[in-house]
């Protein structure tokens, strides 16, 4: 039986807006298909093991980012090694920002990132808040809720998670939202994102399972009527 080890980065400092629900979604959707799941919480001072199958990190306030900054940099080499070995990853909001080059706060403090994603973020004068719908080449329509003041700019050769249909996205100007590097997704979509977007959840699970058994080409289908109804309702909500 395949066992999936899911790494949860900084569950205390980076867990705003229900992002813990993404961990629960991955766990349940794997278990419903007969896989065993271990949740490995990474706290400041811990060492990240090699046998990680999925990486997840949520959003947090500027103060939370400051608390984890040094520890994240200490573990940057290991995280990059895992992601370059195609371990799937989902990072939301605050950790999305810190997986890029840096986040500069409204006070001018520069919090150094780990440069796995090709982006940088500077705090803007207002918050970008509300329901958001994007169109993703990999996943089709993706829905969520954004609440961030950071304005993220992607490098020219970076690949966005999707293009904004309604909402603000990375910066409210260039219509991009998030970023994808290998099997790593960075995004501002809270909600949490995975319960209402099962295709994204199953992408992470399938990539993790295929890393252990490349012969598996698809997941056992689930009854996603409730999830898809939640997606449809969210997509119709005004920003």
C-alpha distances in Å from residue 112, one per residue of 53, 65, 219: 26, 10, 38
Burial tier of 223 (Cβ tally within 10 Å: 0-12, 13-18, 19+):
exposed
Please name the residues in contact with 219: beta carbons below 8 A apart, sequence gap of 6 or more. 33, 202, 205, 206, 209
Please name the residues in contact with 55: beta carbons below 8 A apart, sequence gap of 6 or more. 6, 7, 9, 79, 82, 83, 87, 88, 89, 90, 91, 184
User: 133 is written with which tokens?
Assistant: 């719908």
Alpha-carbon dihedral sign for residues 62, 68, 74, 77: negative
Name the helix (H) or strand (E) containing 36: strand 36-42
Judge whether 89 counts as a catalytic residue: no
Catalytic residue among 8, 120, 190, 231: 190
Catalytic residue among 93, 120, 148, 184: 93
Q: Report angle CA 201, 205, 206 to the nearest 5 degrees.
A: 115
Beta bridge partners of 187: 92
For the chain, the first-to-last Cα distance in angstroms comes to 44
Judge whether 8 counts as a catalytic residue: no
List, by residue number, the catalytic residues: 93, 190
């Amino acid at each position: 039986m395949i066992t999936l080890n899911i790494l949860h980065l900084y569950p205390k400092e980076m867990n705003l807006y229900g992002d813990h629900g993404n961990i629960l979604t991955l766990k349940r959707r794997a278990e419903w298909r007969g896989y065993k799941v271990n949740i490995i919480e990474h706290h400041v001072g811990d060492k990240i093991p090699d046998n990680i199958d999925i990486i997840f990190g949520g959003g947090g306030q500027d103060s939370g980012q400051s608390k984890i900054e040094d520890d994240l940099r200490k573990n940057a080499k290991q995280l990059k090694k895992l992601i370059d070995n195609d371990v799937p990853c989902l990072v939301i909001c605050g950790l999305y920002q810190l997986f890029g080059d840096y986040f500069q706060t409204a006070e001018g403090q520069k919090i150094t990132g780990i440069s796995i994603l090709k982006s940088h973020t500077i705090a803007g004068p207002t918050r970008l808040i509300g329901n958001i719908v994007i169109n993703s080449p990999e996943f089709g329509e993706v829905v969520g809720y954004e609440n961030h003041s950071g304005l993220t700019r992607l490098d020219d050769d970076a690949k966005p998670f999707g293009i904004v249909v309604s909402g603000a996205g990375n910066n409210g100007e260039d219509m991009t939202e998030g970023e994808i590097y290998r099997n790593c997704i960075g995004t501002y979509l809270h909600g949490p994102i995975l319960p209402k977007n099962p295709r994204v959840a199953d992408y992470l699970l399938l990539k993790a399972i295929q890393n252990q058994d490349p012969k598996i080409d698809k997941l056992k289908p689930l009854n996603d009527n409730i999830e898809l109804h939640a997606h449809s309702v969210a997509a119709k909500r005004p920003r």
